[in-house]
A and B are shown apart, each in its own frame.
Chain A
Amino acid sequence: MSNVSVGSASVSSANAAEQETVSGRRRNRFMEFVGRLVRERPLGAFGAAICVVLIFTGVFADVIAPEGYNAISPLDRLKAPSWEHWFGTDQLGRDLFARTVHGAQLSIIVAFAATTLSIIISAVIGIASGYIGGRFDMTVQRFVDGWMCFPDLIILIVAVSVLGPGTGQVILVLGLLFGIAGSRIVRGAVLSVKENTYVHAAQSMGASTLRILLRHILPNVMAPIIVLYTTRLAAVILAESGLSFLGLGIPPPAPSWGGMLSLDGRTYMFQAPWLAIVPGLALTVAVFGINMFGDALRDLLDPRMRGGGGRFIARVRKRAPASQR
């Protein structure tokens, strides 16, 4: 018994030491990571820049467009883009630039809230299911199977029809939807990490289950979770805008990009095509940026997929005939 406690104590002190050096190196490693991103994945760096702009716009929406997203001005109906209204105005005379900027805010609020919720759900289900295993795992997985049979959008539509439209509902439903789907990935990661010798070593030294989960398993599944997080951000933004496009997401006058494109406004779009172009473009650029950043992140964190297949016809590039050397 005394042996066991000595063992686990030495493990934890080793861990603490490790933790300290890690935090000391963190800043350095961040700069190194940015450097690698710019050098090895310029498109990813470009995506990261878009993400930064997006977040900046969202956070400072009230500064950038102080009149807010719902400043109705009947005299300014359907004005074309001009110096005064960069992106033109809509059928209620609201400035489209202001609405787009506030739309960014709405998008990132929904994206971060729903994604965070979904990652928590994924992590809880995935880690529990993968770690506990056995019959519990089987039951949970059958439920996940059943859930995954349904098209995302159908679940969303049905759920919103039950809960009613609204930002909170959309966040809740999106979080649940992606959370359950993502639990598979976390579970897979847990299963592969679980078999590692160091987990067995920790177990044999008497470490508790919770301790193993937090100390050993969680840090090792962080990479897939981070990658999952970024890809989910884009998926959530797309899903929210799709729902709002159908009139089932965030109700007007909230400036959801999808809602701005919805069928209700279609009649005006024929006269004022900027109404159709601007929100869609904003959406596309945002999703593009997140996707590119996410891809780069995955490549840098998980370098297995890099390098190409050659054609197995070696290029022969001789400098000079050997006989002349």
Chain B
Amino acid sequence: MSGYLLRRLLALLPTLLVASIIVFGVVRLVPGNVLDLMLSENDFASSSHETRAQLEEALGLDKPIYVQYLVWMKNIVLHGDLGDSLWRNTSVLSEIGERLPITLELGLLSLFFALLIAVPVGIYSAVRQETLGDHVGRTFSIVALAVPNFWAGTLVVILPAMWWGWAPPNEIEPFFESPIQNLKVFLVPSLILGASLSAVVMRMMRTMMLEVLRQDYVRTAWAKGLPERTVVMRHAVKNALIPVITLVGILVPILFGGTVIIEQIFRLPGIGQLLLDAVTARDYPIITGVFLVAGVLVMTVNLLVDLCYGLLDPKVRFDRK
């Protein structure tokens, strides 16, 4: 198992390298912009050629692009330094560190709700095919797949406010000081995000259960005289969950995108808001930093997903190749 983990970690290195090149490349596509913007914003519009050169040197933009990349990477790897915000005197890392917990809590809660809804309903739907419950589950899934979460979020903000004057709370209390208050803030946003995610998972769970229930080993389980509950819960679900976990891995980037939107709707000061503010202000170090952190986060989750494989699938656990 540990060997498996190590292999996975090693396999991550080239991906990480490519990802960093993508981040660096995409953001530096038009480096001139930053300078022009800084100069204009700082009333240096009429400034001499000298100040521009000075600024260029200060930001390290005068060096060839690969040197810039190497310097940037060196700072990240050796010092964990993502640079400083262009406009505020804060480091990118501390800005991200401040916002990340909010995004993580929103994301994890959403994932929790998504699985809480999707897995049982998906199982039920497959085991009791063509029953009322199956149809209700599938209809929900079909509808939820089509409803964009920003529309659902907008409606949840607008309609209750119109009808009952209710607005979702958004004063975030630290979780460990008053967990209830804290969860209250996240409940509605994560339910919306979770419900929209659950549609895909539910579908997958149902399909995989149907697939697994057709397998020979399920027939063997029936032939042993096991009650249906045991056949389904012990023999089928575990097998069906393996591909569903792959799907969860695929969904994490989508979930991340969803948090950006939901944060915006419910005015939660997470990573998404940081990014959007940085985009408006053209604060490239922050954009770069968030971009990179998002990628690393997704890779970490994928690693966790791989570990879950190990727990569920003995073939992965025992393979020592």
Contact = CB atoms under 8 A, between A and B. Distances in A.
Interface of A: 142-143, 145-155, 157-163, 234, 238, 241-242, 245-246, 248, 258, 261, 263, 266, 269-270, 273, 276-277, 279-280, 283-285, 287-288, 291-292, 305, 308-313
B141 to A, nearest CB: 11
A174 B162 CA distance: 36
Contacts of A311: 127, 213, 228
B148 A242 contact: yes
B132 interface: no
A58 B17 CA distance: 44
A288 B146 contact: yes
Interface string B208-249: 011111100011001000001001000000000000000000
Contacts of A313: 222, 228
Nearest to B129: A308
Contacts of B18: 142-143, 145-147
B287 interface: yes
A73 B261 CA distance: 32
A270 B299 CA distance: 41
Contact of A288 (B21, B143, B158, B212): B143
Interface stretch (B81-89, B149-157, B181-189): B149-157
A273 B162 CA distance: 9
Contacts of B218: 309, 312
B71 to A, nearest CB: 20
Contact of A312 (B15, B207, B219): B219
A153 B150 contact: no
Interface stretch (B24-32, B46-54, B311-319): B24-32
B268 interface: no
Interface string B296-313: 001100100000000000
Question: Top 9 closest A-B pairs, CB basis?
Answer: A153-B257, A146-B18, A309-B213, A280-B151, A288-B146, A151-B253, A151-B256, A312-B222, A161-B279
Given A283-B151, A291-B145, 20 more contacts: A145-B14, A146-B21, A147-B22, A150-B295, A154-B256, A154-B257, A157-B279, A162-B27, A242-B261, A246-B260, A258-B148, A263-B265, A266-B158, A269-B158, A273-B162, A277-B155, A279-B151, A280-B147, A310-B214, A313-B228
13 contacts: A142-B18, A146-B15, A146-B21, A150-B291, A151-B253, A151-B254, A153-B260, A242-B257, A269-B158, A273-B158, A309-B126, A309-B129, A309-B209
Contacts of B253: 148-152, 154
Contacts of A245: 150, 261
Nearest to A144: B18
Contacts of B256: 151, 153-154
B146 to A, nearest CB: 4
Contacts of A266: 154, 157-158
A239 B200 CA distance: 17
Contacts of A270: 158, 161-162
A162 B29 contact: yes
B148 A151 contact: no
A107 to B, nearest CB: 12
A159 B30 CA distance: 11
Contact of A142 (B15, B29, B231): B15
Given A146-B19, A152-B253, A158 B150 contact: no
B142 A292 contact: yes
B142 A291 contact: yes
B38 interface: no
Contacts of B147: 280, 284
Contacts of B104: none
A261 B155 CA distance: 10
Contacts of A157: 260, 275-276, 279
A234 B146 CA distance: 9
Given A242-B150, A288-B146, A152 B254 contact: yes
B114 interface: no
A279 B258 CA distance: 19
B159 interface: yes
Contacts of B212: 309
Given A154-B260, A291-B142, A291-B146, A309 B211 contact: yes
Nearest to A265: B154
Given A291-B145, A312-B219, A162 B261 contact: no
Contacts of A258: 148, 150
B294 interface: yes
A305 B207 contact: yes
Nearest to A138: B14
Nearest to A245: B150
B264 interface: yes
Contacts of B99: none
B92 interface: no
Contact of A150 (B22, B150, B279, B287): B22
